[in-house]
């Protein structure tokens, strides 16, 4: 996955790294939320039986 033109000024590199870190953090939080919701719903289903 290579872009045709990637500006390599330090500001652009830092901004890209920060954006990538924020995106990965958001994805991790989303996955964690889904996992917690699944565990809670499974526990409630098990307790409801």
State how far the Cα of 10 lies from the Cα of 23, in Å rounded to an integer: 20
CA atoms within 13 A on the CB side of 6: 9
Query: For the whole prediction, is pTM greater than 0.85?
Result: no
At 12-37, the pLDDT tens digits run 889 999 999 999 999 999 999 999 99
Distance from chain centroid for Cα 1: 20
3-state secondary structure of 19: helix
State how far the Cα of 31 lies from the Cα of 34, in Å rounded to an integer: 5
State how far the Cα of 3 lies from the Cα of 36, in Å rounded to an integer: 37
At 8-18, the pLDDT tens digits run 788 888 999 99
């Amino acid at each position: 996955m290579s872009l045709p033109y990637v500006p390599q000024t330090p500001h652009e590199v830092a901004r890209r790294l920060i954006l990538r870190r924020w995106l990965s953090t958001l994805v991790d939080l989303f996955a964690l939320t889904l996992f917690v919701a699944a565990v809670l719903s499974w526990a409630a289903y098990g307790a409801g039986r």
